[in-house]
Structures are given as C-alpha cells and as structure tokens.
Structure 1
Amino acid sequence: MFVKFLPNQYILRYRKGKLVAEGQGLSFLCMEQFNSACAVPVSNTDADFIFEEQTHDFQKVSVQGQLTYRITDYKLTASAIDFTVNLRTRQYINEPMRALSKRIVNIAGVLVKGVVGEMEMTEAVQSSRALAEKVLSGLQNDAELKGLGIAVTGFSVLQIAAAPETARALEASTREEILRQADDALYERRNASIEQERRVKENELNTEISVEEKKKQIRETEIATKRMVLEKENEIERIRTLSEAEREQLRLDAAIELERKRRELADLRLENARKEADAEAYRISAVMDAYNKLSPEVLVALATLNMEPETLIAQAFDKLAVNSEKIGTLNITPDLLASLTTRSE
C-alpha cells in the first residue's frame, strides 16, 4: 500500500525492525505486515499546566500557565517515547504527545515548587515574570530534557492566585490599606488647605504692613516738605522784616565784597603784566647777548639788509669821510651825483 505523511512530521521507517529511511513528510509503498513507522512532530508544541504549591509562609497558591517545547533529536525522543503510527490510518497507536507533555510539565512543576517555596505569599502573587524567567532557565538547562532531545522555548505564567480564604483576607487588608491611604490623603489635603490659607492670610498681613509702611513714609515726606517750605517762608519773612540799617549793612557788605573782588582782579592783572614784562626783558637780553657775540662787520651787514638805497649811499659817504686821510684824490662829478640821486628817487 502507499503511505504519505505530512511535512511537519519526521518519519522513521522500519522494515523488519531495522531503520531503512528517515526524513520529513516521507511517502512510500510498503507491505503493512513487514513495515512500521514512527512520526515525530517537527513543529512546536504547547502544554498547559496548573500547579497547587505552598509558599515559604505555608500559604497555598495556584500557578497557571503554558509552556512551549520542540523536539530537537528525533531518534533520541523516539527511543524514549513510542511514536509508532498505524500505517493505514496514520494515527498514533498510543498517545506519545500526551505522555511527553506530562513528563515535561512534571519537570516544570518541580522547578515551580522550588521557586515558589522560597517566596512569601504576598511576594509570590506578584512575581509572575520573575517566576517564569527562573523556571524557563531551569528547563533549558535540565539534563533530563536534554536526554530526551527536548528544548523548551517558552514558559509563561498567566496567573498566580492565592486560596479563596487567603485572597479574601488579602483583599480586606488591601482594602483597609487603600482606605487608610485615602484618609491620609484627605488629611494631607486638609493640612495643605489650612497651610495654604495661613500663607494667604500671612501674605495679606504682610501686604497691609507694607502699605502702612509706604503710607508712613509718604506722611513723613509730606511733613518734612511742609517743614522745609515753612522754614523758607520764615526766612523770606525774616529778610522782609529786616531794618533799613540791616539792609544797608547788607548792601555795604556786598559792595565791600565786590571791591575786594576787583582788587584781586587788578592784582592778578598786574602780576600777569609783570610776568609778561619779565618775559620780554628776558627775550631782549637773549637777543643782545647773541648780537654781542657777533663781529662788527656781521652786525653792519645784518643792519644793511633792509636799508633804503639813500641810506646806504649816505652811509658809504660817511665811511669815505672817516677814511679820507687814506684817500689821495676822489673825484665826484655832477653826473655821478645826479645818477645816484636819480636811482635813489
């Protein structure tokens, strides 16, 4: 007959007790009386569980969840669990998956018992994630599962519930705690309201005090201003009521002060004039010293630089007269005098 298996089954085909073929989704012709086959699931398998365990403080809790596993070594698993199928119906002769799931769940139950037994009841009912992580780690490292060729890929804890009586007691305790917290919150709100009201009143009082201080400062300023005005008015009135002699005395004092200022000004001008005269005398003295150091010829040359022509002619005749004894004969014709006179004019 022709036998065909599903692709999600790993088939181990035996003929007369010997393995002749293996693989996923095999199909073959065979004679039923001489052949047999084991169909091992390839896909993941889920197994539900419920454990009743006792916590460290001797309280009963119920742990409900699901684990997921897959077969990694098909021959090893088939050697431990009977996966033989009826070749005609392709149904398992026994219930291997139920037996395998039960064995894995029992191993998980031992691990759950150990973890829960170390926790207090109130801690246990709140430790689903921590419990799942610890048990999954234990299953993945379990030697028995490795010997069966099984790998646990997931472990989920859906609920950890206390016994009904304990749950009611916890609910009552929690309810009382919630009510106490509510009372504390109400008390704190009332205290906060009272404190806020006190702060508001304190701020109002501080504001009133500040306003009164400002008013006081304004009043003091007004009084000081009025006093100053009154003093000025009194001074003006006093000046008005001075006698004629006093006013005359004041005028004389002012005139004296003015004359004193004028005298100081005159002294200052005289002092400035004296200083200017000293400066001019010093300048002239310096110039004369410079002239004294020059030779007569240089001085004469300097003196004749800007002279008029007639002055120069007169000076030349004067020198001729001075040195006349050294001159033998000097003829000055009328034409020469006329030409000199004409040039000078």
Structure 2
Amino acid sequence: MFGFRYLKTSPTQFVLHYQKGKLKQSGKGLSFFYFKRSASISVVPISSKDTSFIFNEITADFQTVTVQGQVTYRITDPELVASMLDYTIKDRSNQYISDDPEKLEQRIVNLLQVHTRTEIQKRSLKDAIQVSDEVGLEVRKQLTGSGDLEKLGVEVQTLAISAIKPTPEMARALEAKAREELLKTADDAIYERRNASVDQERRIKENELQTEIKLEEKQRQIRETKAEANLAIEMKDQKIREAKLQGKVKLETERKLLVTTRVENAKAEADAQAYALEATLRPLAELDSSLIQALAIQTGEPRLAVSMAIKELAKNASKIGQLNISPDLLESLMDEKQKRR
C-alpha cells in the first residue's frame, strides 16, 4: 500500500538494503518494511550449492577424454559477490531482475576446467583414466591455493571427479589391447600343452593337406569342364543372336523402302488433287465480280438486294447530294439479323 512492501528472508539469504543509493542495512535472514520507489534490495544466497560439470580435455599423448564430476560451493563474502554481479530482486526475494546470479556458477566451472586441464595434460591417457580421485584432489588444492575463489567471494566445500572417460573408439582400443593380452596368456598355456604332441599334429596336418590337394584337383577339373560347356553354349547363342540381328536389319531396310514409296505416292496424289481443284476453280476466277453479284441477287434474298444497292450507292457517294434512309428499313434489317442469331 502506498509503495511500501514487506520483505522476509531465510537464514540462508544475505540481504543488502540500499536506500537512495546508500547501504541502509545488511545481514542474514532480515525482515523489514521498505519503500519500493527509493529502495534497492540485493539478496545473495549463502547456502551450499551443488553443480555438476562435464567437459572435454586433451591428455599428454594428445587423446581426448571427458571429465565428469560435481562441485559443492558456498558464498563466503556476499557483499563482494553483490558488488560484482547484480543480485537485485523484484518484489519477491526469489526473483531477480537479471540473470547475473546464474553467471557465478559458470565462472566457478570455468576455473575448475582450467586447473583440470593442467592436471590432465600432465598425464597420458592410461594414467588419466585411472587416477580420477588424485586429479580431483590436485585440482581442489590448486583452486584453494591460487586465490581465484577468494576473488569471487566463494569457497569450494567438496570436489568430486566421478569419471575420466576416453572416446568410445579409444575405449574399445584399450579394451581390445587388454583382451589380447589375456588371450595371449591363454594361448601360451595352450601352446605349452600342445608342444608335447607336435609330431602327431604335424602328421595330421600333412594328411589333411594331401586330401585338400586331391580335392582341389578334382574341383579344378569340374570347373574346367563346366567352363568349356558354357563356352560352347555361349558361341551357339552368339550365332543365334547374329542371325536374329541380320533378320531385323533386313526387315528395317524393307520397311524403309515401303515408307519411301508411300510418301512418293501420297505426294503424287496430292499434286493431282491440287491440279484438279485449280482446273475447277479457274473459270470462276475469270468471271466478273458484277456478274457474281447479279447471280447472288437472283437468289431472292431481300436483305442481299438492299445490301448490294447500298454498296452501289457508296461507290457513287461523291455524286449524291443527299441520301435519306428510313429507320424502318434499318430496323427491318436488324430484326432479320437478330432472328438469324
């Protein structure tokens, strides 16, 4: 009401209450009224927080490994943290006006990755994947001794590297090498056991070899016989295909001759029809147009006669002083035209 708000925080939250740009009060788990328009409140969580991490690094023998683990930290200097990151809240104590509080966690992980890289690069792939606990202890020792955490206002309570894993391809290679070593030990034991009966093994192998030689000889003879038979069949099929092809070539030649003959006959027939049509129309072309018009008038069509008369008048329009055409005449012509439609 009237811009006044009430804030209540838990003991795991450190409150910085600024009034008109000056720090009015600060402490853990504070509860107070404040004037919203002139107050700025930062709430920094000081409880422990767990953060998981996973990233890739390169070993001393240039092999990629995946480092996975978890770090637990807490803010020890909330005023320093609030001066570096914006922890200003909205009306409620768990809602921040920016995403700065999320950046602290990433900064810790980045520091952790830097020191982890230093330790991983000192070791070969085999050593790195077998000493994850030792790497975790060394990384935590470097974090504590470097003073980087104090500059961020936090402390690391626990650091656990759960696994340092090679790539799937390299993991399979390492497994294969270990497996081969075990198999080699087993083979050596078998070899020592069979060494006493090596002469008997040799005779068995020689008999098997002779048998295989005879069997291969028989199989070779069978293959040669089949090949000769297939060759004869192929030659016969080749002759049949050549005969069919020659027949098709001959048929296509005769068909081409037939098409040529048809084209020539069609052309001659068209020339004859054109000549006959020209001979039929030649007398009509020589007739006078006036004669053709007179023949047309004899058909008895009144409209045609009127049209011819108007056309003659139009030819001598220069000699006519004044010409009157009644509307009845035009109306009768138009009515007749509409009836035909």
TM bucket, shorter chain: 0.5 to 0.7
- SS of 1:79 mapped into structure 2: helix
Do the aligned partners of residues 90 and 54 (structure 1) sit closer, same or farther apart at CA in structure 2, a change above 3 Å counting?
Answer: closer
The structural deviation recorded for 1:186 is 6.7
The structural deviation recorded for 1:189 is 9.6
2:145 aligned partner? 141
Identify the match of residue 78 of structure 2 among 74, 83, 89: 74
Report Cα offsets for 1:310-345 as digits up to 9, x if no partner. xxxxxxxxxxxxxxxxxxxxxxxxxxxxxxxxxxxx
Alignment gaps of 5+ in structure 1:
192-345
Identify the match of residue 35 of structure 1 among 35, 39, 43: 39
The structural deviation recorded for 1:147 is 1.3
Equivalent-residue separation in structure 1 for 2:27 and 2:58 (angstroms): 45
Do the aligned partners of residues 187 and 8 (structure 1) sit closer, same or farther apart at CA in structure 2, a change above 3 Å counting?
Answer: farther
1:333 aligned partner? none
1:106 aligns with 2:120: no
Task: Determine if contact 1:66/1:157 at 8 Å carries over to the other structure.
Answer: yes
Task: Determine if contact 1:37/1:87 at 8 Å carries over to the other structure.
Answer: no
The structural deviation recorded for 1:6 is 2.0
The structural deviation recorded for 1:79 is 0.8
Report Cα offsets for 1:238-287 as digits up to 9, x if no partner. xxxxxxxxxxxxxxxxxxxxxxxxxxxxxxxxxxxxxxxxxxxxxxxxxx
Amino acid across the alignment from 1:3: L
List aligned pairs for 1:48-127, cutoff 5 A. 48-88=52-92, 90-127=94-131
Report Cα offsets for 1:176-196 as digits up to 9, x if no partner. 1222344456779999xxxxx
Amino acid across the alignment from 1:159: A
CA RMSD of aligned residues (A): 2.1
Count, aligned residues: 191
* TM-score of the aligned structures, taking structure 1 as reference length: 0.52
Report Cα offsets for 1:49-95 as digits up to 9, x if no partner. 11200000010000000111111111111111211111246411123
2:28 aligned partner? 24
Report Cα offsets for 1:104-147 as digits up to 9, x if no partner. 10011011111100100011111101100000101112222211
Task: Determine if contact 1:5/1:90 at 8 Å carries over to the other structure.
Answer: no
Indicate the percent of aligned positions where both proteins have the same amino acid: 44
Equivalent-residue separation in structure 1 for 2:110 and 2:190 (angstroms): 51
Identify the match of residue 168 of structure 2 among 142, 148, 164: 164
Report Cα offsets for 1:179-215 as digits up to 9, x if no partner. 2344456779999xxxxxxxxxxxxxxxxxxxxxxxx
Equivalent-residue separation in structure 2 for 1:178 and 1:136 (angstroms): 37
Equivalent-residue separation in structure 2 for 1:175 and 1:140 (angstroms): 41
Identify the match of residue 44 of structure 1 among 41, 48, 59: 48
* TM-score of the aligned structures, taking structure 2 as reference length: 0.53
Equivalent-residue separation in structure 1 for 2:10 and 2:85 (angstroms): 20
List aligned pairs for 1:1-345, cutoff 5 A. 1-88=5-92, 90-183=94-187
The structural deviation recorded for 1:40 is 1.0
Equivalent-residue separation in structure 2 for 1:150 and 1:73 (angstroms): 7
Amino acid across the alignment from 1:39: V
- SS of 1:167 mapped into structure 2: helix
Amino acid across the alignment from 2:51: A
Do the aligned partners of residues 26 and 186 (structure 1) sit closer, same or farther apart at CA in structure 2, a change above 3 Å counting?
Answer: farther
Amino acid across the alignment from 1:175: R
Do the aligned partners of residues 172 and 13 (structure 1) sit closer, same or farther apart at CA in structure 2, a change above 3 Å counting?
Answer: same
Amino acid across the alignment from 1:49: F
Equivalent-residue separation in structure 2 for 1:130 and 1:121 (angstroms): 14
Equivalent-residue separation in structure 2 for 1:129 and 1:188 (angstroms): 42
Task: Determine if contact 2:9/2:93 at 8 Å carries over to the other structure.
Answer: no
- SS of 2:156 mapped into structure 1: strand
Runs of 4+ displaced beyond 3 Å: 181-191
Amino acid across the alignment from 2:77: D
Do the aligned partners of residues 128 and 88 (structure 1) sit closer, same or farther apart at CA in structure 2, a change above 3 Å counting?
Answer: closer
Report Cα offsets for 1:203-230 as digits up to 9, x if no partner. xxxxxxxxxxxxxxxxxxxxxxxxxxxx
Equivalent-residue separation in structure 2 for 1:127 and 1:71 (angstroms): 30
